Amino acid sequence: MYAELGLYIDGQWLNGSGRKGEDVINPATEKPLAHLPHASKSDLDLALESAKKGFALWRATSAYDRAKIMRKAADLMRERYDNISKIMVQEQGKVYVEARAEVLTSAEIIEWYAEEGRRSYGRIVPGRGKGIRQLVVHEPVGVVAAFTPWNFPVLTPARKIGGALASGCSLILKASEETPGACVELVRCFADAGLPAGVLNLVFGVPAEVSEHLLAKDAVRKISFTGSIPVGKHLAGLAAKGMKRTTMELGGHSPVVVFGDADPEKAADTIAAFKYRNAGQVCISPTRFYVQEDVYGRFLKRFTEYTSGLKIGDGLEKGITLGPLANSRRIDAMDSFVADAKSRGGKIVTGGKRRGNQGYFYEPTVITDVPDDSKIMTQEPFGPLAPIVTFKTFDEVVARANSLPFGLAAYAFTTSSTTAAAIGDAIESGMVGVNSIAVSTPETPFGGVKESGHGSEGGIEGLGAYFNTKFISQG
């Protein structure tokens, strides 16, 4: 029922023979699912040669023909969604309906990029002299090295594959070793759709070794990374040595501002469901809740009711609404956030501890009365913890929301159009949802500011990230 794991290099699936590797663990049971082979240095060199060859071939393929193959891959993802989703639940822990939504959204992403690649227009700038033609054209950047994390094993690779393939780049993707199976199946959809050998290569290994090896090579012209801020900074440093293009989708600590004129119950229903998606292991997860004093009690009550009503268990079982955390590191991290909050006067309204001792289950937790300089209010929790505090004025809450070095997503609830416009402008963040949580769609830009990274994925900006701009002056 789980995937057949392997590396995919130059159109060939390579298995574990003679290679080092690691076990993939089911976070709901802590039992191994399969053994994953790691790429050796010579496998990585093979992947590089393959990607170079793939680039030459793919950039010469018309955008129209590229789109046909990409659309076919998206169709295969839709045909195979049930199998891919079940693999994802086993290795990552999220509940089945979320895994299914992830696979189907990823198919949409590929399809959207396929179409948009056909519209990657340049422009003609009027020349200064008679007979001078000034052309601005887009050319694919080249071989891309992409690194994706364990929280969205299909969606994050799909964003990078979509942008790269639509623009005519080739790709070496190092997906997460902790959640490889769903991504293997994603790549299989492209292989079965007729993508030429070498255009998309999939490797696994020791992350630091793989990135160091690939980023040192001249042929790699762009790095796209999704993951933590410290690793993002490290990779940006490696990229700088070869002046390679980068897209960095890093962590955040998303503020939620509920103004006194909002409907607190409606706001709580909307944001609580969003909070516990993937057990809070989402880079745009709402993570710091500021509620204006007059509606605080009602918001907290409704949010807590939702939280304590969640059904914890294996994401493949019917009726389960909160799966396990993805790995034991997250359990340790949650314990540390909760212990710090308690020691700083924080009150645990519900949850606050691990559930059982088999599987990485953690109770969804609401915390109040925590100071702004506590760990939970200053570091990304990446788990099912919701600190909820009060605020008095607009200026005060904006200052508190903007006080951290992150700027990925932010949310606000208000019935005033003046406040809605003002908060949208005032928050330092790559995405702001005002009375809305829809900040991530295939056709809109997704990315952060400040230490949350730079560059966008999604929208025309996401496609542009894989193009060089060339100016041709033709006399």
Cα separation, 302 vs 283, whole angstroms? 24
**Smallest distance, Å, CB 235 to ligand NAD?**
6
**Smallest distance, Å, CB 188 to ligand NAD?**
21
Sequence-distant contacts of 19-27: CB under 8 A, at least 24 apart: 19/43, 21/204, 22/177, 24/91, 24/177, 24/178, 24/179, 24/180, 24/181, 25/91, 25/178, 25/327, 26/90, 26/91, 27/91, 27/92, 27/93, 27/323, 27/324, 27/325, 27/326, 27/327, 27/359, 27/360
Amino acid at 451: E
Please identify, using beta-carbon distances, which residue of 345 and 405 lies nearer to ligand NAD: 405
Start-to-end CA span in the chain (Å):
63
Cα separation, 206 vs 214, whole angstroms? 12
> What is the SS3 assignment for 235?
helix
Sequence-distant contacts of 269-274: CB under 8 A, at least 24 apart: 269/302, 269/306, 270/413, 270/437, 271/303, 271/411, 271/413, 271/437, 272/302, 272/303, 272/306, 272/307, 272/386, 273/306, 274/437
Segment 165 to 184, residues that bind ligand NAD, using CB under 6 A: 176
Please identify, using beta-carbon distances, which residue of 82 and 209 lies nearer to ligand NAD: 209
Determine which one of 178, 249, 363, 428 is catalytic: 249
Segment 316 to 345, residues that bind ligand NAD, using CB under 6 A: 329
**Smallest distance, Å, CB 130 to ligand NAD?**
53
- Which secondary-structure segment (H or E) carries 23? strand 21-26
Lay out the site mask for ligand NAD across 270-289 (x = CB under 6 A, - = otherwise).
Answer: -------------x------
Cα separation, 349 vs 307, whole angstroms? 10
Phi first, then psi: give them for residue 347, nearest 5 degrees: -110, 135
Cα separation, 364 vs 210, whole angstroms? 35
**Smallest distance, Å, CB 365 to ligand NAD?**
16
Q: What is the DSSP letter of 245?
A: E
**Smallest distance, Å, CB 152 to ligand NAD?**
7
**Smallest distance, Å, CB 148 to ligand NAD?**
7
Please identify, using beta-carbon distances, which residue of 195 and 250 lies nearer to ligand NAD: 250
Segment 196 to 255, residues that bind ligand NAD, using CB under 6 A: 207-208, 211, 226-228, 230-231, 234-235, 249-251
Segment 138 to 157, residues that bind ligand NAD, using CB under 6 A: 147, 149-151
Lay out the site mask for ligand NAD across 51-70 (x = CB under 6 A, - = otherwise).
Answer: --------------------
**Smallest distance, Å, CB 179 to ligand NAD?**
9
249 is catalytic: yes
Please identify, using beta-carbon distances, which residue of 268 and 334 lies nearer to ligand NAD: 334
Cα separation, 109 vs 419, whole angstroms? 33
Please identify, using beta-carbon distances, which residue of 90 and 281 lies nearer to ligand NAD: 281
Cα separation, 46 vs 44, whole angstroms? 5
User: Does residue 382 touch ligand NAD according to CB under 6 A?
Assistant: yes
Work out the angle between the directed axes of helices 96-117 and 181-192 (0-180°, nearest 10): 40
283 is catalytic: yes
**Smallest distance, Å, CB 326 to ligand NAD?**
8
In sequence order, what E strands does 156-283 have?
A: 170-174, 200-203, 220-226, 245-249, 254-258
Are 198 and 51 within 8 A, CB to CB?
yes
Q: What is the DSSP string of 52-69?
A: HHHHHHHHTS-HHHHHHH
**Smallest distance, Å, CB 42 to ligand NAD?**
19
Determine which one of 116, 169, 283, 380 is catalytic: 283
Cα separation, 441 vs 109, whole angstroms? 8
Q: 123 - beta bridge partners?
A: 136
**Number of residues binding to ligand NAD, judged by CB under 6 A:** 22
Phi first, then psi: give them for residue 94, nearest 5 degrees: -65, 160
**Residues marked as catalytic:** 249, 283
Residue ranges in contact with ligand NAD by CB under 6 A: 147, 149-151, 176, 207-208, 211, 226-228, 230-231, 234-235, 249-251, 283, 329, 380, 382
